[in-house]
């Protein structure tokens, strides 16, 4: 594979990871904006249910591992996933938050997704070198 083909593949793969990551947010979390109140305690929670977050995390894992298997450079795939997902989450959170606390959530997402993709990359490299 020549250099320009490799660069094109990396660019296309990076764009696909970004689109799928943003799509995962819309599919699993973007539609749910309601908080639930426990009638017994009066404690509010949400807006997301645990099954939504777990499904979204699993989807992002599949997208990222798929990108690595397709030989999208790990750094590009990590940046695409982290930035695209965080951007769509932040856009909705900023529009609905009057306290400004969405900024904390944005930082937590950046750190969490960045760390998660780093761990998956390290595991993938360890598995590859084993075989």
Counting as low any pLDDT under 50, the low residues of the chain are: none
For 28-57, write each residue's pLDDT tens digit.
999 888 888 889 998 888 889 999 999 999
Q: Which residue has the tokens 């993938």?
A: 124
pTM metric for this prediction = 0.89
Q: What is the pLDDT of residue 86?
A: 98
Q: What is the pLDDT of residue 40?
A: 92
Q: What is the pLDDT of residue 2?
A: 72
Query: Rounded CA gap, 84 and 67, in Å?
Result: 15
Q: Mean pLDDT for the chain? A: 93
Tell me whether residue 85 is exposed, middle or buried, using C-beta atoms within 10 angstroms of its C-beta: 0 to 12, 13 to 18, 19 or more: buried
């Amino acid at each position: 594979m020549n250099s320009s083909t490799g660069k094109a593949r990396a660019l296309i793969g990076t764009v696909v990871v970004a689109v799928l990551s943003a799509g995962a947010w819309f599919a699993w979390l973007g539609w749910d904006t309601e908080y639930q109140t426990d009638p017994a305690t009066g404690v509010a929670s949400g807006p997301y249910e645990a099954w939504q977050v777990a499904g979204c995390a699993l989807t992002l894992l599949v997208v990222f591992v798929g990108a690595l298997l397709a030989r999208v450079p790990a750094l590009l795939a990590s940046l695409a996933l982290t930035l695209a997902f965080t951007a769509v989450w932040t856009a909705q959170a900023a529009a609905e938050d009057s306290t400004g606390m969405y900024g904390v959530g944005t930082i937590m997402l950046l750190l969490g997704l960045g760390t998660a993709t780093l761990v998956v990359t390290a595991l993938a490299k360890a598995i590859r070198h084993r075989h």
